[in-house]
Amino acid sequence: MPWSDITPMSQRLEFVRLIQQRRQPIGAICLAFGISEKTGYKWLARVAAEGPAGLADRSHAPRTPAHQLPASVVTAILAARRAHPTWGPRKLRRFLQDQRPALPWPAASTIGALLHRRGLVRPHRRPGGGPARWTPLDARLTSAAAPNDVWTIDFKGEFRLGSGAYCYPLTVMDLHSRYLLGCTGLASTATATARVVFTRLFQAYGLPRVLRSDNGVPFASPLALGRLSALAVWWIRLGLRPERITPGAPQENGAHERMHKTLKAETTRPPALTFTQQQRRFTQFTHEYNTLRPHERLALDTPGTHYTPSPVRFPRRLPTPDYAACCDVRRVSAVGMIKWRGTALFLTTSLAGEDVSLEETADATWRISFGALVLGTYDLTCQHFTPGVYWPASDSPDPRATSPIIPV
């Protein structure tokens, strides 16, 4: 004789049969089946409305899934992602909150899940499969406690336009606020065109305290004393401090390099046909980067909400170095030399036409400077010049400025 199957459905049918026989009170029958009277009446109501089929299990899934978003919210999220394909869920959420604060925007994790379901997220893998390795900033670099303390500058790697011409984007960013001051596509890294760009930026935003760059042209001149370039000499005349990262250590300018990654993704893939068309992309990117794109470093604020122009205005006439009366002043010749006390001393052609000072610091020892920048010392006894390019500590509230602007 086969065993009889006891299932939830068979128990419910037996419960209804006993109720219909009315041999015992409903409360006693519910107690025997281990259910509450409320549940018992529920099954009786279903049988009355649907017959025995009403006793079957029903889905417990909510009619409206908890993760389902309103159609208007989904449409806005997808539209924002397509307009800004490099932005992650956190940036998109903050952007949408700023644009349409009345809508109930979901958590960043929910936005990320939506983008994943719609195929709008590409998996990211780090090279080598391990965690990213970062080198701490060199202690000699100036900290940026306020806007215009440090501007970071660089030429993003050159690329060919659709016409075949090379484009060299010159980018300048305020380190404290991450405000992108300018992105200009140039035909080369020549000093003359770079100086035109910086003149325009100085006129628009005032003068920073420090300009940080790598050791490439035109920011540095590899064979010059202290690697001083003509552009760096002009900055020093303006009262600015050129500051260079350690050669081969781009992570010391990591914030700028990270901005370049975004710039490349959003403006050069693929490149435009002409310089004019490419510059339109750079200009549009600069506007979005400063006013629309939330920045992780700024707690998802935009850079534009943290930047203010410098109160130090660009002078109409280029200042000349102001040396103390106790100093001997000599002008550097076209071939980079000065004549002093019957001796010809070579410094660098980068300073051609500029005045340098010689100040006695010890018996027969003289310090040679260009403006506030010390170039080295000259021993009058043996007539020997020892290079040593650095900013004196007394000239800056930041003690780290005592280090050389570059290794010499």
pLDDT-wise least confident of 77-91, 125-139, 174-188: 125-139
Strand partners, 153: 172
| Beta-carbon-side half-sphere exposure of residue 221 (alpha carbons within 13 Å) | 16
Strand 365-370 to strand 355-362: parallel, antiparallel, or no bridges (unpaired)?
Answer: antiparallel
| The pLDDT of residue 35 | 86
| The pLDDT of residue 406 | 43
| The pLDDT of residue 408 | 34
d(CA 29, CA 37): 9
Q: How confident is the model at residue 126 (pLDDT cuts 50, 70, 90)?
A: low
Task: Answer whether the bond into residue 218 is a cis peptide, omega within 30°.
Answer: yes
d(CA 27, CA 222): 97
> Which one is predicted more confidently, 407 or 289?
289
Strands (E), 175-294: 180-186, 210-213, 241-244
pLDDT-wise least confident of 57-71, 223-237, 261-275: 57-71
Q: What is the dihedral of CA 93, 94, 100, 105, to 10 degrees?
A: 40
Q: Do 218 and 249 touch, CB atoms closer than 8 A?
A: no
Residue 168 pLDDT exceeds 70: yes
Average of per-residue pLDDT across 330-359: 94
Strand partners, 165: none
Look up the pTM and report it: 0.74
> What phi and psi, each to the nearest 5 degrees, are found at residue 331?
-95, 135
Residue 313 pLDDT exceeds 50: yes
| The pLDDT of residue 172 | 98
Q: Do 115 and 80 touch, CB atoms closer than 8 A?
A: no
Its sign, for the CA torsion 171, 174, 175, 178, is negative
> Which one is predicted more confidently, 63 or 183?
183
Strand partners, 301: 295
Residue with token string 């529920």? 42
Its sign, for the CA torsion 291, 292, 293, 296, is positive
| The pLDDT of residue 377 | 94
Strand 166-174 to strand 328-331: parallel, antiparallel, or no bridges (unpaired)?
Answer: unpaired
CB within 8 A of 345, min separation 6: which ones? Answer: 337, 338, 339, 378, 385
Residue of 246, 228, 180, 265 whose CA lies nearest to 370: 228
Residue of 228, 225, 206, 202 whose CA lies nearest to 217: 228
d(CA 10, CA 18): 12
Residue 103 pLDDT exceeds 50: yes
| The pLDDT of residue 65 | 57
| The pLDDT of residue 350 | 95
Q: How confident is the model at residue 80 (pLDDT cuts 50, 70, 90)?
A: confident
Please provide the distance, in angstroms rounded to a whole number, between the alpha carbons at the two ends of the chain. 100
Q: Do 316 and 308 touch, CB atoms closer than 8 A?
A: no
Query: What confidence tens digit (pLDDT) does each residue in 31-76 have?
Result: 877 888 888 888 888 888 888 887 787 776 655 555 578 888 888 8
Encoding tokens for residue 393? 């500590």
Strand 180-186 to strand 166-174: parallel, antiparallel, or no bridges (unpaired)?
Answer: antiparallel
Residue 2 pLDDT exceeds 70: no
Residue 315 pLDDT exceeds 60: yes
Average pLDDT over the chain, rounded to an integer: 86
Q: What is the DSSP letter of 301?
A: B
| The pLDDT of residue 8 | 82
Residue 189 pLDDT exceeds 60: yes
Strand 241-244 to strand 210-213: parallel, antiparallel, or no bridges (unpaired)?
Answer: parallel
Query: What confidence tens digit (pLDDT) does each residue in 352-402 have?
Result: 999 999 999 888 899 999 999 999 999 988 889 999 999 887 544 343 344
Strand 159-160 to strand 166-174: parallel, antiparallel, or no bridges (unpaired)?
Answer: antiparallel
Residue 113 pLDDT exceeds 50: yes
Average of per-residue pLDDT across 75-93: 88
| The pLDDT of residue 291 | 96
| The pLDDT of residue 407 | 37
Q: What is the DSSP letter of 246?
A: P
Residue 187 pLDDT exceeds 80: yes
| The pLDDT of residue 128 | 47
